[in-house]
Amino acid sequence: MHVPAIEARDVSAGYGPIAVVQDLCLTVMPGEIVALLGANGAGKTTTVRALAGDLDLLAGDVWIAGKRSTAPLHRRARRGLRLITEDRSVFMGLSVADNLRLGGQERSRCLEVFPELEGLLHRKAALLSGGEQQMLTLARALAAEPKILLADELSLGLAPLVIERLLSALRMAADRGTGVLLVEQHIRNALGVADRAYVLSHGRVAIEGTTADLATRIDEIEDTYLAAAELAAAD
């Protein structure tokens, strides 16, 4: 029997007593990419933070490799979880080489993931393009060969060719056994690389299925985005 890399069971989470995400059930198996889709404010970042142990749950449980976990983020990291947030996690005043060193992974392994960084090793991270900064962030995470990778808006503000490169790196990591949860607003980007997807609307799962199934339901998915935008405008 295959055990999920990470699983949410009836999870509710938010800020203070206010639940942004409610009754969420979600699984990510080893070796697969699961996309988490939804409009702004749907609860995607809250979901990722709850799964990572960076946000206390209001209800429900998170299970990692078949065991219920209440551990904080730093302890989940020791068990093989990596979190990439919307903010690129690089030290802007340090060189690429120093960023890789502080990440704790072998430089050679990082450069295997993104050979593009080799010619940039002595450049300060602040002078990198947004795509290069995100490659640096992802190289450090993937070089650790994580069991679970949670990536929140990896492609935000980046050019299509860079996005394609980042997503191909995620696909290769999944093919080596990493369970990946990929938060995306862009439906087609996500469905092009993921195995399955969940669509959040107002903090709840509105649609779920394989990407082959959801590729035939893009109009329905886009309607959830439109409904969220109309509600936000009404508020």
CATH number, residue 217: 3.40.50.300
Bridge partners (DSSP) of residue 13 are: 21, 57
pLDDT in 10s for each residue of the chain, 235 residues = 689 999 999 999 999 888 999 999 999 999 999 999 999 889 999 999 999 999 999 999 999 999 999 999 999 999 999 999 887 778 999 999 999 988 788 899 999 999 999 999 999 999 999 999 999 999 999 999 999 999 999 888 899 999 999 999 999 999 999 999 999 878 888 999 999 999 999 999 999 999 999 999 999 988 888 777 666 555 5
pLDDT for 226: 77
Closest of 184, 213, 183 to residue 196, by C-alpha: 213
Task: Give the span between the Cα atoms of 199 and 182, in whole angstroms.
Answer: 12
Encoded tokens for 49: 């933070």
pLDDT for 156: 85
Please state the pTM of the whole predicted model.
0.93
- What is the residue range of 205's domain? 6-234
Residue 128 placed within a domain = yes
Residue 1 placed within a domain = no
pLDDT for 234: 56
Residue 115 placed within a domain = yes
Alpha helical stretches, state H, the chain: 44-52, 73-78, 96-102, 107-113, 130-143, 160-175, 187-193, 211-214, 218-234
pLDDT for 163: 93
How many domains does the chain fold into? 1
Encoded tokens for 60: 């429900």
pLDDT for 87: 77
